């Protein structure tokens, strides 16, 4: 999990670069996503943004569901919901991505986790 420092830590350190994967760009300060060559954007919740940031940072490598949950709920004072939070947020993210592009999708590697796929 050390490859995924919390977003707030990145912001405090003055990192304002826009992480990218293919045509997808993330804006750390406004928590929005955009597609290169398009005027469409989508606003994300903090949890959605954190998951997408992890997936972009992984650049197509698979991220396990347990890593996503650990990343989202690493505060010992936070209770992890009984429902499956990663799947809920991934479903919402998939819909938001589909609303702005068909070039970037979140794929499931059954039994292993999730990854971003870029097509042209």
| Spatial distance between the Cα atoms of 70 and 74, rounded to a whole number of angstroms | 5
CA distances from 18 to 57, 78, 100, 107 (A): 11, 28, 18, 22
| Spatial distance between the Cα atoms of 23 and 35, rounded to a whole number of angstroms | 5
Are 33 and 41 within 8 A, CB to CB? yes
The domains found in the chain, sorted by start residue, are 7-118 (1.10.10.10)
CA distances from 63 to 14, 15, 17, 18, 40 (A): 26, 23, 22, 20, 27
Instruction: Convert the pLDDT of each residue in 77-92 to its tens digit.
Output: 566 666 678 889 999 9
Instruction: Convert the pLDDT of each residue in 46-105 to its tens digit.
Output: 889 889 988 998 889 999 988 888 877 766 556 666 667 888 999 999 999 999 999 999
Which DSSP helix (H) or strand (E) runs through 83?
A: none
């Amino acid at each position: 999990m050390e490859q995924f420092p919390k977003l707030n830590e990145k912001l405090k350190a003055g990192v304002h670069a826009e992480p990218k994967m293919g045509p997808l760009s993330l804006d750390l300060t406004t928590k929005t996503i955009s597609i290169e060559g398009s005027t469409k954007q989508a606003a994300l919740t903090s949890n959605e943004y954190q998951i997408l940031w992890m997936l972009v940072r992984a650049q197509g490598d698979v991220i396990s569901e347990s890593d996503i949950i650990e990343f989202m709920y690493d505060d010992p004072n936070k209770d992890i919901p009984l429902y499956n939070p990663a799947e809920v947020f991934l479903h919402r993210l998939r819909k938001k991505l589909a609303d702005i592009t068909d070039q970037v999708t979140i794929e499931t590697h059954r039994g292993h986790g999730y990854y971003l796929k870029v097509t042209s």
